[in-house]
Structure formats: structure tokens, C-alpha cells
């Protein structure tokens, strides 16, 4: 018996190579201006063409302005990225929804609303929130730029098959609770690494009661708990949403498709690697207080006390509160709000704008609040105008802007100033996510509306909320999660690629990345947990069109003050620590699928990152760029920190062939795990694209069977 995920993944597997890596066929790739230029550059350097241009769709969204879109883009770097996307699409015959045209918008909004996204598909994009499309019953996930190139070149991507997880939310939702509250609640309980290594299916009566757009919000943020992606089984709600959309099947083809889609569910006896259940009655309107989406509480709750936080996580907890200028035990209602942002691929759909407009109708925006209401697409913008939402907003003192990613990330003109608080319906509250020094509080559109009207963090006055009881995960569930996260390595990690695959690699690949065999080096200890991709390299530095130059921007906001002077208390600025090995706290690299974080670390001279826990996407991106992620036990990581911090001249030795990491001062050693295929690539300096291009005949044969 199979899970929904297994059914779709297995049906799209062209072949499985030694060590378990899958050649996965992709039905549709979405691209945008930020993560595609370097992929096309790679194609050009190989003299290759896009393999299946009809299965690629582009929409510029990250770098576009949300005002005066009829005028040329003023930022030269943004303009260059946009121009390169358009030129690359024209050269390769790829459909592009240009800025200002009726179908333009955030790609994760455009895909479903046009009917390009359909149940049973495999979908990828160089953006972690590709998981949004899983709400339609797809296997959809974010990939790095190297993988964007793979799909352009072959319509396939090399991936290890994730484990499966099901999250059930049962029962009736409380008044005022929206999908954003559900997912923030789940992340607060499971943590930002609770789904790592897994593809999550969301199920249960509360999930089934949601609209399609609400389901998209849930799946959109599945990545924020470390999951590879999220999905919901298609049902009549899905079919009703999709019927009649431009690219959806029509006529008899529609009936045939629906018959097939109705088979897309997890079999009753299907077994998941993890399964947890929550009671919808325990969920109330949520808001975040820290610098990752897992730091969330019910709006009427207090920030946790230090004593409630696991001891090893307390330094990161206190660091986050210092950044936000909050204190343990504080309540948030009554705190001043400077900005409100409604939009993004999380909450920029028409239903989100309706909720916001319904609340502010007949009221007036607080004088001290700057509010940006940004539709997710031109279609949403048109609906908002046709339904009178724009008129309602303007009467209340708000402005409906033009579509784009806007203030979700600080890549365009919509930035939050340093020190200011923004209640945001987007997906990430990382340090500097909305601008250097900006303080982000994630919430749903209803809470955002109340904050915009009152100018302070406010419980919406339309709700009668009791003080909710904080329910902890059961001991069994907690133990289940803990055991999964700390699972010890076994002897299988030393398994080698079989001779036939090794020969195939040798015959097919060019030397594309630096080879790695052994490394003995001093190390730099970065003892911080939950280091995200925006901390590794802030989003404002992502307007480049090549892979070079990111090393100097590594940990920029931690390394330098507002005047550009090095902060003497940051470890990378200490003359005591040098080396080619970075030792980091657990859950390193969480956040975006963009490859720039790996480029920055490698560009700064690091060859290895050691941690007790890596985000899945970062691990893949690192390996694709010759950067070795070495995962060790928490106890061995603690030992490394202790020895290196007390004796900076201590060296650490990495042996890739033997898969060992050794503290040379003591001889203490651990094995680490790596995909046999990726191990061979690093040892020989191969990359994946040439391999996939070498099996075009197999991919073409696979296509004929579908």
C-alpha cells in the first residue's frame, strides 16, 4: 500500500542509480529572474539547449517594483536580471509572463490560478516555496540553481527520495483561525527542523474543510519546518477550483483527468515514516515573536520564559529576542506596529485580500502605520478592483499596489527600515529578511488588518477569544521526533557506487567541480543554532547574474555594523580563528532553496561545514557546488566546539573516502553519511548535468510510456 507521495514519485522515476539517487522526471519547471541566470549560463557553457521548453514557464516576481510597473526598472542590477530572463526565454522558446501583462505575478500564485499546476504532477522551481503547488496534490519542491540547470538540460533532476510524514489536524477550527494560524501553530510545535528529510502530507477534517487558497498557504510554509515539501490529496474542492482555468484540461479530457486524479490519495493501509495528530480546538490566532517561523505563540500568550527553552537552544533564543527587542515572558498585544505587509506567495491571493478588506471596511488606518497591500498576481489585482476591494481599501486609507514579491524579502524597493516592526503575512521572519535590521512578526491577514487599524499588536475585535491552553506534544510524539533527528549512522554509509555506475560517470562527465579527497585544517566555530540562508547571505545581495563574488558578503549583517565596520565580537572577524572548515550549530542552512548561500560559504574559502543537523536543500546545494556538509552527532559537535574554542590551532581532518571526521588533537573520530553517488562526484570532480544529458535516450523512452 502506498502513500500519495509514493504514488507520484514512483510514477516519475526514470531510473534509480546505485546508492538510491533517483532520476526524477519533472512535469513542469517554473523559473524566475533570481535563480535562473546562472543556470542558463551553465547551459550556454556546455553548448546545450533546453530539453523540453514547453514544460518550462517563467514569471519575473522577486525584483520587480510594485508601483509604476509601466516604467523602466530603476535598479540596474534588477533590470539586468529581468532582461536576462526575458532574453533567455526568447532564445530557448520558453513561455514568459512579462511584467505588466495579464498573467504576470508571483510564480506560485500564477501557476495554480492559470491551471498550469494540476494534480499528480512533479513540479520544481528555484525557490523553496514551490511547495505551495503541493496543495493541488502534486509533488512540488524547491531546488537550487545547479538543479534548475539539470531540469533545463534534461527535464529531470537527481534526488534522493525523501521519507514520508503525515500531519493530521482534526476537528473544528476556532473563530478567526485561518490557514496561516494552522501552519504557524504546527511549526511552533514541531520546530523548524521537525520535517527535515520528509515530504509532508497534510490531512484530517480541519485540513479538508479549507479552501484551495488556504491549502496553498499550508503547503507554502511546510518548508519552514524543514520539510522537502508539503501536499494535500486532491478532492472535489480541488477539482472545482481547477475547472475552467485556462491551461486545465477541457471537455472530455477534463472528465478523463478527474477520473485519474481521484486515484491520488494515500491508501488506507499506507504507513508513513512519521505521523502526528493535532486537535484543531487547540489552535488560535498566532503571531511570531522571534527570528524564525518556529518562534510563534497564540496572540494572547506570553513569550516563553528562558526556563521553558531547551538549554542548548537558549543562546539562540536570547539572541533572537535581543534582535527583536523583546523580553522573555512579555505579551505582544499593545506593542507598537510601524508597518503592515499583506501579500507574498503565502497570503497574496484574493481570499487574503477579502479577509483584510472585510475587517477594515468602514474603519481608518492608524496614522503611524505604513501599509503595503500587494496582490500576488495581475489576476488577483483585477479581481480586487472588480469586487470593489480597492475602493474599500482606499476609503480606509490604504493603497492597493501592483503584484510582486514586494516586502517578503529585501530584494526590491519595498524594504522595512532598521528597527521598525512589521506585521507581515509573508513566510519568513529571519533577521534582515525584510531589510537590514527590520523586525518581522508573521501573522495571518485578519491579525494584520487589526494591527493596521489600531497601530498596535491587536486581537481582532471581531473575535471572542478565551485564553488558550498551551498543549505540548505527547511524550511519545516528542520521543518519535527526537529519535528521528538523532538517528545514528550505520555501516551502510560506506557503501560504494557499483562498477557499472562508476564507469558510466567516468564516460559521461566533464570535470566541473573541484575534487575533494581529504582535508586537514584549523576550523572556525560558529556556535549558533538555526542559521538560515538569509543570515548566511542577505537577500539584498542576490541580484547577481553570475556565481562569483559572494564570499565577501558571507554573514554580512553579523560581520559588519551599519557603517560597514567589522564587529570585533563576531567569530569570523577574530584573528584567533582561521581555516577551511566551518563548525556550526544544529539546523544549519534552513530557509531558501537558492544556491547563493553555498556559493558564499565556498567563495569565502570554506571546503567543509560541520553540524549536527543540516537543512535538506542546503545539503543538496552544498554538494552540487563542491562544498562538503559533514553531519555529526550532537555530542561530537559539542566536543569539537569545546576543543577548537579553547585551542584555535587545533586541526580537524576530513577523509571523504573513509567518511570520517577526526579531531586530530585527541584522535576522536566519527563516521558521517553521504550519498554514494554524491561521494563519487566529489571524489572525481563530476557534476550531475552531463550525466543527465548522457541518458537522454532513457528519458525519451520514459516519456513515451506516460
Decide: 462 and 176 in contact? Cβ < 8 Å: yes
Decide: 193 and 485 in contact? Cβ < 8 Å: yes
- Torsion over CA: 545, 547, 548, 551 (sign): positive
Q: What is the mean pLDDT of residues 1-29?
A: 94
Task: Give the number of other Cβ atoms within 10 Å of residue 429's Cβ.
Answer: 30
Cell of 480: 518519535
> 383 or 485: whose pLDDT is higher?
383
* pLDDT value for 462: 61
Q: What is the mean pLDDT of residues 8-18?
A: 94
Kindly indicate the confidence band of residue 511, based on its pLDDT and cuts at 50, 70 and 90: very low
Cell of 386: 472588480
Per cent of the chain over pLDDT 70 is 93
Average pLDDT of the chain to the nearest whole number: 92
Cell of 703: 516519456
CA distances to 283, 353, 438, 445, 683 from 208, rounded to whole Å, are 16, 22, 36, 21, 48
Across 274-288, 426-440, 452-466, 515-529, least confident range: 452-466
Kindly indicate the confidence band of residue 471, based on its pLDDT and cuts at 50, 70 and 90: very low
pTM for this model (two decimals): 0.92
pLDDT, one tens digit per residue, over 599-624 is 999 999 999 999 999 999 999 999 99
Cell of 91: 532564445
- Name residues whose C-beta falls within 8 Å of residue 550's C-beta, 6 or more positions apart in sequence: 537, 541, 544, 596, 599, 600, 603
Indicate whether 415 pLDDT > 70.
Answer: yes
Indicate whether 474 pLDDT > 50.
Answer: no
Integer Cα distance of 529 and 506 in angstroms = 39
> 463 or 223: whose pLDDT is higher?
223
* pLDDT value for 461: 76
Indicate whether 489 pLDDT > 50.
Answer: no
> 465 or 144: whose pLDDT is higher?
144
Indicate whether 503 pLDDT > 80.
Answer: no
Please give the helix or strand (H or E) that residue 84 lies within, else none: helix 76-92
pLDDT, one tens digit per residue, over 131-143 is 999 999 999 999 9
* pLDDT value for 392: 98
- Torsion over CA: 26, 27, 33, 38 (sign): positive
* pLDDT value for 20: 80
Indicate whether 483 pLDDT > 60.
Answer: no
Integer Cα distance of 344 and 436 in angstroms = 19
Longest dimension (CA), the chain: 72
**Buried/exposed 264-274: b ≥16 CB within 10 Å, e otherwise:** bbbeeebebeb
- Torsion over CA: 532, 538, 543, 549 (sign): negative
pLDDT, one tens digit per residue, over 288-345 is 999 999 999 999 999 999 999 999 899 999 999 999 999 999 999 999 999 999 999 9
CA distances to 221, 237, 378, 449 from 398, rounded to whole Å, are 27, 32, 18, 11
Indicate whether 216 pLDDT > 80.
Answer: yes
* pLDDT value for 376: 98
Integer Cα distance of 515 and 683 in angstroms = 5
Integer Cα distance of 352 and 427 in angstroms = 14
Kindly indicate the confidence band of residue 685, based on its pLDDT and cuts at 50, 70 and 90: confident
Q: What is the mean pLDDT of residues 456-485?
A: 47
* pLDDT value for 513: 67
Please give the helix or strand (H or E) that residue 324 lies within, else none: helix 314-324
* pLDDT value for 514: 80
- Name residues whose C-beta falls within 8 Å of residue 704's C-beta, 6 or more positions apart in sequence: none
> 483 or 501: whose pLDDT is higher?
501
Indicate whether 232 pLDDT > 90.
Answer: yes
Cell of 260: 485519474
Cell of 65: 517594483
pLDDT, one tens digit per residue, over 612-663 is 999 999 999 999 999 999 999 999 999 999 999 999 999 999 999 999 999 9
Indicate whether 479 pLDDT > 50.
Answer: no
- Name residues whose C-beta falls within 8 Å of residue 169's C-beta, 6 or more positions apart in sequence: 182, 186, 202, 203, 204, 205, 206, 207, 277, 278, 279, 280, 283
Kindly indicate the confidence band of residue 539, based on its pLDDT and cuts at 50, 70 and 90: confident
Decide: 205 and 235 in contact? Cβ < 8 Å: no
Burial of 432 by CB count in 10 Å (0-12 exposed, 13-18 middle, 19+ buried)? buried
* pLDDT value for 485: 34
Amino acid at each position: 500500500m502506498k502513500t500519495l507521495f509514493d504514488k507520484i514519485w514512483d510514477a516519475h522515476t526514470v531510473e534509480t542509480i546505485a546508492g538510491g539517487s533517483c532520476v526524477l522526471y519533472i512535469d513542469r519547471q517554473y523559473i524566475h529572474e533570481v535563480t535562473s541566470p546562472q543556470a542558463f549560463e551553465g547551459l550556454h557553457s556546455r553548448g546545450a539547449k533546453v530539453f523540453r521548453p514547453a514544460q518550462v514557464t517563467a514569471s519575473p516576481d522577486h525584483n520587480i517594483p510594485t508601483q509604476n510597473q509601466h516604467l523602466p526598472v530603476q535598479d540596474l542590477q534588477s533590470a539586468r536580471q529581468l532582461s536576462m530572463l526575458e532574453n533567455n526565454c526568447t532564445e530557448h522558446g520558453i513561455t514568459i509572463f512579462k511584467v505588466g501583462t495579464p498573467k504576470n505575478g508571483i510564480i506560485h500564485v500564477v501557476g495554480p490560478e492559470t491551471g498550469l499546476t494540476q494534480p499528480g504532477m512533479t513540479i520544481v522551481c528555484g525557490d523553496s516555496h514551490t511547495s505551495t503547488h503541493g496543495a493541488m496534490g502534486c509533488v512540488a519542491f524547491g531546488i537550487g540553481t545547479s538543479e534548475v540547470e539539470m531540469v533545463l538540460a534534461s527535464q529531470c533532476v537527481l534526488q534522493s527520495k525523501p521519507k514520508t510524514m503525515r500531519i493530521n489536524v482534526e476537528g473544528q477550527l476556532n473563530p478567526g483561525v485561518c490557514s496561516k494560524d494552522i501552519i504557524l501553530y504546527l511549526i511552533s510545535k514541531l520546530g523548524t527542523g521537525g520535517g527535515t528529510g520528509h515530504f509532508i502530507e497534510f490531512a484530517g477534517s480541519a485540513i479538508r474543510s479549507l479552501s484551495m487558497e488556504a491549502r496553498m498557504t499550508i503547503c507554502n510554509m511546510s518548508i519552514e519546518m524543514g520539510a522537502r515539501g508539503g501536499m494535500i490529496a486532491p478532492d472535489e474542492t480541488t477539482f472545482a477550483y481547477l475547472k475552467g482555468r485556462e491551461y486545465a484540461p477541457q471537455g472530455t479530457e477534463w472528465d478523463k483527468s478527474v477520473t485519474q486524479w481521484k486515484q491520488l490519495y494515500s491508501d488506507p493501509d499506507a504507513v508513513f515514516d512519521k505521523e502526528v495528530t493535532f486537535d484543531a480546538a487547540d489552535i488560535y490566532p498566532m503571531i511570531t515573536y522571534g527570528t524564525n517561523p518556529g518562534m510563534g505563540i497564540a496572540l494572547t500568550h506570553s513569550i516563553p520564559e528562558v526556563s521553558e527553552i531547551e538549554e542548548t537552544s537558549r543562546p539562540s533564543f536570547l539572541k533572537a529576542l535581543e534582535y527583536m527587542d523583546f523580553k522573555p515572558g512579555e505579551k505582544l498585544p499593545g506593542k507598537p506596529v510601524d508597518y503592515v505587509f499583506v501579500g507574498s506567495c503565502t497570503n497574496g491571493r484574493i481570499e487574503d485580500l477579502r479577509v483584510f478588506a472585510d475587517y477594515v471596511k468602514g474603519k481608518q488606518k492608524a496614522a503611524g502605520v505604513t501599509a503595503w497591500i500587494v496582490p500576488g498576481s495581475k489576476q488577483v489585482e483585477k479581481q480586487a478592483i472588480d469586487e470593489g476591494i480597492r475602493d474599500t481599501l482606499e476609503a480606509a486609507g490604504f493603497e492597493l499596489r501592483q503584484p510582486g514579491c514586494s516586502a517578503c524579502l529585501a530584494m526590491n524597493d519595498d524594504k522595512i527600515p532598521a528597527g521598525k516592526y512589521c506585521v507581515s503575512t509573508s513566510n519568513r521572519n529571519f533577521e534582515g529578511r525584510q531589510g537590514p535590521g527590520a523586525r518581522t512578526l508573521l501573522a495571518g491577514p485578519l491579525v494584520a488588518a487589526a494591527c493596521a487599524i489600531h497601530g498596535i499588536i491587536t486581537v481582532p475585535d471581531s473575535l471572542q477569544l478565551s485564553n488558550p491552553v498551551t498543549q505540548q506534544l505527547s511524550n511519545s510524539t516528542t520521543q518519535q521526533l527526537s529519535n528521528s533527528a538523532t538517528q545514528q549512522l550505520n555501516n551502510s554509509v560506506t557503501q560504494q557506487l557499483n562498477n557499472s555506475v562508476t564507469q558510466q560517470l567516468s564516460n559521461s562527465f566533464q570535470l566541473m567541480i573541484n575534487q575533494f579527497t581529504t582535508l586537514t585544517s584549523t576550523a572556525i566555530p560558529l556556535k549558533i543554532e538555526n542559521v538560515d540562508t538569509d543570515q548566511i547571505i542577505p537577500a539584498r545581495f542576490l541580484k547577481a547574474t553570475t556565481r562569483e563574488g559572494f564570499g565577501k558578503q558571507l554573514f554580512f549583517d553579523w560581520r559588519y555594523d551599519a557603517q560597514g565596520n567589522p564587529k570585533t565580537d563576531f567569530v569570523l572577524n577574530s584573528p584567533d580563528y582561521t581555516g577551511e572548515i566551518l563548525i556550526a550549530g544544529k539546523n544549519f542552512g534552513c530557509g531558501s532553496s537558492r544556491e547563493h548561500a553555498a556559493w558564499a560559504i565556498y567563495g569565502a574559502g570554506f571546503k567543509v561545514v560541520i553540524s549536527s543537523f543540516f537543512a535538506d536543500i542546503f545539503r543538496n546545494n552544498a554538494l552540487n557546488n563542491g562544498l562538503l556538509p559533514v553531519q555529526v552527532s550532537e555530542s561530537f559537535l559539542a566536543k569539537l566546539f569545546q576543543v577548537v574554542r579553547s585551542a584555535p590551532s587545533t586541526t580537524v581532518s576530513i577523509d571523504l573516502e573513509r567518511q570520517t571526521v577526526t579531531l586530530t588533537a585527541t584522535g576522536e573520530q566519527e563516521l558521517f553519511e553521504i550519498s554514494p553517488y554524491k561521494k563519487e562526484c566529489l571524489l572525481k570532480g563530476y557534476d550531475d548535468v552531463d550525466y543527465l544529458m548522457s541518458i537522454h535516450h532513457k528519458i525519451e523512452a520514459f516519456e513515451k510510456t506516460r
